[in-house]
Amino acid sequence: MKVLVDTCVWSLALRRDSPTNDACYKELVALIEANRIALIGTIRQELLSGIRHAAQFIKVRDKLRYFPDAVLTETDYELAAENYNACKQRGIQGSNTDFLICAVAMRCNLAILTLDQDFEHFADILPIRLLKPRFESSVL
C-alpha cells in the first residue's frame, strides 16, 4: 500500500539538520526505499514555497520530482469540502489542504504519514488510516 506523506514529515526530512534518529524520518526512508510514497501537488507546493535560495529550491524540487503526483479529480475537491463540513459540524477545524489529503487518501486507499495531531481528530470522523512509524526514536 502506498502512503501519502504530509508536508510536515517531508519538512523534517529535508532540513539540513534533520534528526536521522527520529521515528518518522526512519519511516519515510523505509517508504522511499520500498517505493511506497504517494504525493499530491499541494504538498509539493507547500514544500517548495518559502525556500529563499534558488540553489536550495532546485535541489529540493529535483528530489521531489522522483515522486510523481497522484492525479486529482473534481471528486477529490468535492469530498474534501464534504470532509471539512462533517468535521466542522463536530467542532473539528482543519485546513483545506488537510481535508484534500484526507479525500485523496480515502479515494486512493492510501494511509497518511503525518506529525500533525489534527489528523487524529479527523480519523475519529473520517474513514482515514494513519500510519504510525514502526521504528523507535533514538535518544542521543
Count of alpha carbons within 13 Å of 3, Cβ hemisphere only?
Answer: 24
Note the CATH architecture for domain 3-130.
3-Layer(aba) Sandwich (3.40)
Confidence check: pLDDT of 22 > 70: yes
pLDDT tens by residue, 32-86: 999 999 999 999 999 999 899 999 999 999 999 999 999 999 999 999 999 999 9
Which helix H or strand E contains 82, and what residues bound it?
helix 74-89
- What DSSP letter does each residue of the chain carry, written as one string? --EEE-HHHHHHHHSTT--TT-HHHHHHHHHHHTT-EEB-HHHHHHHHTT--SHHHHHHHHHHHTTSPBPPP-HHHHHHHHHHHHHHHHTT----HHHHHHHHHHHHHT-EEE---THHHHHHTTS--EEPPPSSPPPP-
pLDDT tens digits along 82-139: 999 999 999 999 999 999 999 999 999 999 999 999 999 999 999 999 999 887 655 4
The ranges assigned to domains in the chain are 3-130
